Amino acid sequence: MKLTPEQRAEIDAARGQRFETRRITVPELEEILYEPLPVLDHGFVRVVDYMGDDGAIVQSARVSYGKGTRKTRDDAGLISYLMRHRHTTPFEMCEIKYHVKLPIFVARQWIRHRTANVNEYSARYSILDREYYMPAPDQLATQSRSNRQGRGAVLSGPEADWVLNTLREDAERCHAHYEEMLNESQDGETLDPDRRGLARELARMNLTLNTYTQWYWKIDLHNLLHFLSLRADPHAQYEIRAYADVMLETVRRWVPLTFEAFEKYRLKGASVSEGGIDVIRRLVAGENIRQEDSGLSKREWRELMGILDRTEENSP
């Protein structure tokens, strides 16, 4: 990820500001405020503003005035209870705003989460940079045979080289044609005075989906955790998962008690159906049970055995 001198100066100026406030601040999150956290080859995530902390969640749940004589372990216990029993509204009392730079195809997947306030860089108004995402070689994989929206074996050798070269050549050619159609430089200067340029809103349609865009994304903590539970999951697409992993670290800094409960009950926990609970009870009772007489479908059975870390070989 490269920053221009102007961008670096803008970030340094923002980080150099100090304000007197009576509002809650979180020192560990303040350490990275405004700083771009690298993702993929040209992307980043920046925390640019936030409201609330773990105490705000507890305060909302108790509808109290202040911390009083409570101890941290009391707050941790309450937050764990709220997370465990899915009492969501107290987590909505905290909000955070990110500045994200990401490939367009990741943005289109991301925007399916309709629970945030979003303002994206406008290619109708401005010219997009010549930056596009190129996957690392270990991310070039075949189509999965078992998952229609997943990846299979990693490509290598001439196959991988051909894919990378094609992606790069297509992106370069399309962006070059984009600039030619605009007949305008990044600074707004006309490239060929004898030719009229195409409107920006039309020229942009020629760009490839790995072109980088940017947006500001503001969301409350409850909906952020839902987003992260889906996008930090091992089954999520690698590129969006890379962003989710960086955002998880910002949540850990911001609301450590909530992050601990989220990790315990959501990221590393599991939801089990009524039928699954029945199977677990029968297994605990020592019953020799197979999928055929479990009442579960083959997929449900495989998922449950995965949760219990029991393969077909070592299951009863």
Which residues are tagged catalytic? 231
Under 8 Å CB-to-CB from 12, ≥6 apart: which residues? none
Q: How far apart are CA 242 and CA 244, in angstroms?
A: 6
What's 263's DSSP letter? I
Residue 141 lies in a domain: no
Cα separation values, 251 from 120, 147, 288, Å = 23, 30, 43
Q: How many domains does the chain fold into? A: 3
Residue 14 belongs to domain with CATH number: 3.30.1360.170
- In the chain, the percentage of residues whose pLDDT exceeds 70 is 96
What pLDDT digit, counting tens, does each position of 143-180 carry?
A: 888 777 788 899 989 999 999 999 999 999 999 999 99
Residue 178 lies in a domain: yes
Residue 312: pLDDT band (50, 70, 90) is low
Range of the domain at 295: 274-307
* Same domain, residue pair 237 and 284: no
Indicate whether 62 pLDDT > 70: yes
CB atoms within 10 A of CB 263: 16
Q: Which of 167, 191, 206 is the last residue of a domain?
A: 206
Q: Indicate if the alpha-carbon torsion angle 60, 62, 66, 67 is positive or negative.
A: negative
Under 8 Å CB-to-CB from 182, ≥6 apart: which residues? 127, 197, 198, 200, 203
Residue 291: half-sphere exposure toward Cβ, Cα within 13 Å: 14
Q: Indicate if the alpha-carbon torsion angle 291, 293, 297, 301 is positive or negative.
A: negative
Q: How far apart are CA 182 and CA 174, in angstroms?
A: 12
Q: What is the pLDDT of residue 70?
A: 62
* Same domain, residue pair 106 and 24: yes
* Same domain, residue pair 110 and 234: yes
What pLDDT digit, counting tens, does each position of 265-305 carry?
A: 999 999 999 999 999 999 999 999 999 989 999 999 999 99
Residue 86 lies in a domain: yes
Q: Which is more confidently placed, 189 or 164?
A: 164
* Same domain, residue pair 263 and 292: no
- In the chain, the percentage of residues whose pLDDT exceeds 90 is 79
Q: What is the pLDDT of residue 69?
A: 52
Residue 147 lies in a domain: no
Residue 144 lies in a domain: no
